[in-house]
Structure 1
Amino acid sequence: MSQNSTPVSKRRIVILTEGHTEPVPAKTATCILRYRGDEAVAVFDREQAGKTAGELLGVGGDTPIIGDLAQAEGADTLLVGIAPPGGRAPAEWKPILLDAIARGMKIVSGLHDFLGDDPELAEAAKKHGVEIHDVRKNNERDVASRQGVREDCLRVLTIGNDCSVGKMLTALEITNAMKRRGADAKFVATGQTGIMVEGDGVPIDCVVSDFLNGAVEKLVLGNQHHDTLIIEGQATITHPRYSCVSSGLVHGAMPHGMVLVYEMGRDTVMGMSPLQVPSLEDTIEAYERFAGLAMPSRVVAVAMNSRRFTDDEAQAERERVSERLGLPVADPIRHGCDDLVDAIERLRGEVIPAAATATATG
């Protein structure tokens, strides 16, 4: 798989969120706590020390917030737990990173700023025999060819009408739900946090643009021994900043179907206010038309992120949107993924037999 793979092994992790311990900026932290929580020893934020991850992030339960690495006895990894716009490391974090290195802790970072390229950090890591693993660093240099693709491997891509709405979480939850049903499903990570959770993947927002589609296609080819690939979406093709990443992902993934993800109550585009988020209908039309330039694909279900609303409000929204779009709708955390998985299995029944027949008679 990719040279960016992080081996899935038992670690003792301190998650660094200093000054940013909130669900959206610390989305990497929340996902590690949710999916690799058994490895999390503590969260580091001096301003919030004494509280718990559950209090501040809504996940992680009693995982403590600490303000001194000496409190994390036995920890062997410091993992950067934020995903800020532009992916830059806060300058005030350097003493914390140097302290971790001096304690012999491996540094894992998904930032665009490669910590291993910082001379002071690199020298300290060399001195103490410590690895700095920049998850986004890659040498992808393949272009897409559309050769050797197994059409009996179902490909499903999560998409959104904005950034940070829950595309990765939805893909992980769907994959896990399918596995519980006994399906041979694989979560395909395309971002730094997904790679940290899954242990493999490619950080496509840090691949040279000419090779982006090819990097995603390589992920498909490398995982198509599974029956179903649930491919992690990135940003959205309608975002003025990040549409290039999303577009390459669609054409590289060649999805048979898509699951649309949106956040209930979000009106403006992240980082671009007062620009309004496109409607769900417009988003579906744009994605289906764009994906359809390469191969037929359609949205088969909708995942809603209702974290800021009550159960009753979320249920009412779920019913309204389902009736409006004629699609199954569910919040993967609040409602589970059964309706979403059912839609994917219906899609399999429609497209895989047809693909197999076309291959046999072609």
Structure 2
Amino acid sequence: MSSVGTDTVAAAVAGDESAFGRIVERHRNELQVHCYRMLGSFAEAEDLVQETFLRAWRRRETYAGRSTFRAWLYKIATNACLDHLERHPRQPVPRPGGLPAEVTWLQPYPDRLLDRAAPGADEPDAVVVERETIELAFLVAVQHLPPRQRAVLILRDVLGWPAAETADLLEVTVASVNSGLQRARATLREKLPPRRTEWAPAGAPSEREREVLRQFMAACERADVAALGALMREDALFTMPPEPEWIHGRDAIISSWATAMAGPDAWGDFRCVPIWTNRQPAAANYLRRRGNTQFRAVTIDVLRIEDGLVTEVVTFGSELFPAFGLPATL
């Protein structure tokens, strides 16, 4: 924390609430992303950051200055997540046919908030939130790891911490960190989609992704299920966390959507708003039911796009609209 003076840190450790608040708020966004990677849940990550700050305040006198205050906060946040996972153990739900397991607690993380975690001129230690380490497929794969292996992988491969600092944070040996990292990497390779290395790198969304998203939303608003089918790869996957339900295959997905979108039993008219979450394109969907005048928030569809085709749609509920700064009605 080169831009925070030792006097400010000393005041915070001595019990100055204002100084303490200034220091911890500098790291709120990156710590929330860290907790999100550990937990896979946006809401739980928010809660665990608050728990981190509460623990840090209560234990402020234990900060001895052997590491940066930032590293000290990461240690508290990591242990808070590990404690939470010990109290609330959970496992992804397997699917047949080699499909990725269902992580029922998975939630998206809005890009507008990810951008706040990026390093600024006064935060040289912060880490750019790379697409490869925040996309939903990565989050799902990481949830297969035992909690401590998960922590090792995130600290070493995502945040770039040295083995010795990681060992100090987790209070284990360097040898334990290295072996845990090897096992975690092996599991991750098994659980990630096989073509993940071909995905677009981090940074601005590609024009191709933007165009597919525009076509996807236009087809939804027209209730054009044929056009939606033309945008999907034949082996596309559709899921709706937290429901342990899934549909595999373009034709099956389109068939399930057709009843809600078109025909005598259609729910109504859709309006879509483009958003970006986990560095992926997404559509926030509003529905005007028959007889109503307003479009009301219903779902968020997060798209995985490969070679210009939608290969996966992960749909989340309307309770997440406020996190994206979206209104409840249009």
TM-score scaled by length of structure 1:
0.26
Higher helix share: 2
The higher radius of gyration belongs to: 2
